[in-house]
Amino acid sequence: MPLDTTSYYPDVPSSEPEAGRAGQPRAEVEKNDSPAPAPAPRPEPAEGPKWLTLACNILSWVLVPLLMPVYGVMLIFGLSILDIAPMHTRVLFTIIVFIFNVVIPMGMVMLLKKAGVVEDIGLNGRKERLLPYIITILCLGATAWFMSLKGAPLWMSMFFIGGAVAGIINFAVNFYWKISAHSAGIAGIVAMLIRIMRDGFPEPSTFSWLIAVILLSGLLGAARVWLGRHTAGQVLAGYAVGFCSVFFITLIH
């Protein structure tokens, strides 16, 4: 690699413009050589014990946003007035929610990966999330429609509508900023538990579940920052979007 020695010598004033590449004036050469603007900084994974990184990855997959509707319906049947429903009804509804919100979106993501539209099924790239967001929003809307057809309480249907609203907000923000979908998903569960405690004839253990989920949401947000997937601001924004969307939508009567 040739050494650059131009910085060793001072510029000598000249009455004529100094020639550059292909006879270009000096000013034009300097203009062409100006460095390109640096890209926006991206969060980097923290350095630390491998077991901690592994634990953060496991937590991120166990609490992946696609599973939040499934966890939500399980908590609804276990902690609200719907705990009187027969077990086979609970299982059937949970399976349907799983198909709508996990099997179909994951199948579509796998097809998108095979087609080269996405590179990582974890959807860590901001641009890779656009189509999956649309699919997830449609699946949550279909779940809410199914619940309303089956005579579920309105607030239960609105839980899934709230998730769809959060998805729409995240979709719009995603054009400019990588907001945390993980944080939005688990914050929606927190809002739903508060809603059950307010009007859902809650079981005595509901408050304990609420505290546990709040603690999990904190651990999940810290894990996303530790892994370098999001900044603290993106995590907090996700919490705000997920909680407000579900909480205020479920207040509709």
Return the pLDDT at 19. 45
Q: Residue 195 in contact with residue 155, Cβ under 8 Å?
A: yes
Return the pLDDT at 41. 58
Return the pLDDT at 34. 52
Give the residues of the chain that fall short of pLDDT 70.
Answer: 1-47, 119-128
| Distance from C-alpha of 81 to C-alpha of 66, rounded to nearest angstrom | 25
Return the pLDDT at 139. 96
